Amino acid sequence: MAKKDGVNGKGGQFSGTPADRLVRLWRNNDERFGALLDEVLDGNRQGVIEAAVGKLREEEGYDFMDEVEAFSETAQGTDEQGDPTLSTLFWLVLEVDGPLDAPPPVGVIEEALDSAGLLEKAADMRLLPLWLDPEPLSYLDAADRRTLLRRLISSPEEAESFARTQDLLAPADDSGTRLVGVVGLVIEEDAELEGEGMPDPLKLGFADDGQELEIDPIEQERIRQSMAAFAEAVAAADPRVKRCEPVGGLNDLLDFTAEGVWPDDIEANFDEINDFLDIAGNETGDGVLDLSVGQTPEGLLVRVYNSDGVLLDERSFDLSGARADEALAMMKRRCRRLTEE
């Protein structure tokens, strides 16, 4: 959809607070929204964004924040020749086993991404040599994400300092299998800066609405083989890495770690439970869920409460044995507290 010039015509001005202007520009799909949002994000003015959300209807707020958070992980600029560039954060999820006292093999990861054809459009890239913990990452607001991006554009050392200050590092001495993240930066030359689609620096195949595109089966198989080769190369370089996958933006990483489902784990899918929890989470103001789970003759009975202890919903799922145990493990990752009856 073409961008509008604003309700007052081309060059017209909106009055009101920055939050008012953000809301009006966003609702009118005005091309000036990005410039104002850049100013807010680079000024670390998260309060303006939160004030804007407060002025939106609930259903609008989710779409607004999805767009703001995706936008916060990209920044336009110019290279040494003055040509336009687009810098974008990208995230990898890794299943690791063992202590993380040594940094991730970023050189191997970069080579594996290149070999898999994921850096075809990249003029430059860099990876932050840190294992990052998804839990504190989930508290990074849009302004924090923009700060991380700007620091990584400046230098990996500045980004590392920010990550340590924000306590984003995964515990080095934990043992057992767990999911962690690694963040990188892709800089593209001559990027199509006027596009309205979601950032996709590794060309993972996202449509404008962030959904996966329908891909030709032959191309889909090529991508699958490339991803398998990428994961194999990383795991061979670091025996702590059991699986590895590029996932897109930070929200994609958080969704992935919440559900814990790898693309090849078809049997591990619990779509019905995840949909049930998603709907319940949308009914809360803070997204916090507490669960009570018990085994009944009908299967697994799940009761969902908000952070104030109010029952939101309950449902039985036809699960038992090992499948019930897998579902419990998944639900524990998604909620604040799970009580087994």
Q: Residue 319 has what pLDDT?
A: 84
With 50 as the cut, is the pLDDT of residue 267 above it?
no
Lowest-confidence range among 114-123, 127-136, 177-186, 235-244? Answer: 114-123
Per the structure block, which two tokens stand in for 65? 């924040």
Q: Residue 116 has what pLDDT?
A: 79
With 70 as the cut, is the pLDDT of residue 338 above it?
yes
Q: Under DSSP, is residue 212 helix (H, G, I), strand (E, B) or coil?
A: strand
With 70 as the cut, is the pLDDT of residue 178 above it?
yes
Q: Residue 2 has what pLDDT?
A: 37
Lowest-confidence range among 191-205, 231-245, 282-296, 317-331? Answer: 191-205
Burial class (CB in 10 A: 0-12, 13-18, 19+), 218: exposed
Q: Please state, for a pLDDT cut of 70, what percent of the chain lies above it.
A: 84
Domain borders along the chain are 18-72, 77-261, 271-340
Q: Which residues are paired to 4 by β-bridges? A: 30
Whole-number Å distance between alpha carbons of 85 and 120? 15
Supply the pTM of this predicted model. Answer: 0.72
Q: What is the mean pLDDT of the chain?
A: 85
Mean pLDDT score, 287-300 = 90
Strands 84-97 and 122-127, how do they pair? Answer: unpaired
pLDDT tens digits, one per residue of 28-41:
999 999 999 999 99
- Identify whether the C-beta of residue 253 lies closer than 8 Å to the C-beta of residue 170: no
Q: Please state, for a pLDDT cut of 90, what percent of the chain lies above it.
A: 55
Task: Please enumerate in sequence order all residues whose Cβ is within 8 A of that of 247, keeping only pairs 6 or more positions apart, or say none.
Answer: 91, 92, 93, 204, 253, 256
Per the structure block, which two tokens stand in for 320? 């038992």
Confidence of residue 184 (pLDDT cuts 50, 70, 90): very high
Mean pLDDT score, 313-318 = 90
Q: Residue 131 has what pLDDT?
A: 97
- Identify whether the C-beta of residue 100 lies closer than 8 Å to the C-beta of residue 131: yes
Q: Which residues are paired to 124 by β-bridges? A: 187
pLDDT tens digits, one per residue of 110-144:
999 888 777 777 888 999 999 999 999 999 999 99
pLDDT tens digits, one per residue of 62-119:
999 999 999 999 999 888 888 899 999 999 999 999 999 999 999 999 999 888 777 7
With 50 as the cut, is the pLDDT of residue 3 above it?
no
Q: Which carries the bigger pLDDT value, residue 62 or residue 211?
A: 62
Separation of CA 38 from chain center = 19
Whole-number Å distance between alpha carbons of 256 and 137? 13
% helix, strand, coil for the chain, step of 5: 40, 25, 35
Q: Residue 28 has what pLDDT?
A: 95
- Identify whether the C-beta of residue 92 lies closer than 8 Å to the C-beta of residue 180: no
Per-residue HEC secondary structure of 233-269 comes to: HHHHHCCCEEEEEEEECHHHHHHHHHHCCCCCCHHHC
**DSSP structural state of residue 2:** P
